[in-house]
Chains A and B, each alone.
Chain A
């Protein structure tokens, strides 16, 4: 059974700081890993999708990496801004479309 863990559960940083969010998964037989952002009381917004054959993906100030052999993914946020404050979830997608989500990291960026 796939298990996804995100550390830390919460993170508070000053504006402008670079930061890393961690995601680990137990079953390396994934075909992609996705990072999402969730604002309070709202749905999820897809940030980055890394296919199992890829090592990383970049979008603007965001960079996500994937290491299947160690069962880890990281989301790097450069030059954080108050608008980045949200909960970030990673999800491992395995065969036939089943997905397992982590509990998320709640990020607060202070002005």
Chain B
């Protein structure tokens, strides 16, 4: 069974631009979560989607948004990029929304650099 895939793997943008990242979960998984990882802040939860609905949201500004499609694939969008948005963006999938027994499976991440 193929794992979680994320595209693109690397991305370079300039301040003020917007970016869209894509995540394809493991086949059969319906829940997708997004995380931002930086050296200073560590790994922080962005949001979780299940059945095309945002189920949870972390403490990030409205410039960060996402969506999920009917095939469970998810996209994350960041508008008006800032230098501080440079990070590794990780996507994780699970069968159902994360619960007591549900393990998350992570993708390799997208490395975003904002110049």
Q: Are B101 and A49 interface neighbours, CB within 8 A?
A: yes
Known: A46-B105, A96-B55. A51 touches B42 (CB 8 A): no
A-B Cβ contacts below 8 A, count: 61
Q: Do most interface residues of chain B lie in helix, strand or loop, or is the interface mixed? A: strand
Closest to A96 in B: B56
Verify if B25 is at the interface (C-beta below 8 Å from A). no
A side interface size, CB within 8 A: 25
Verify if B43 is at the interface (C-beta below 8 Å from A). yes
B-side interface size class = 20 to 34
Verify if A101 is at the interface (C-beta below 8 Å from B). yes
Task: Specify which of A32, A43, A89, A96 is in contact with B108 (CB 8 Å cutoff).
Answer: A43
Closest to B90 in A: A43
B residues contacting A by CB (< 8 A) are 4, 31, 33, 35, 42-45, 48, 55-56, 58, 88, 90, 92, 97-101, 103-109, 111
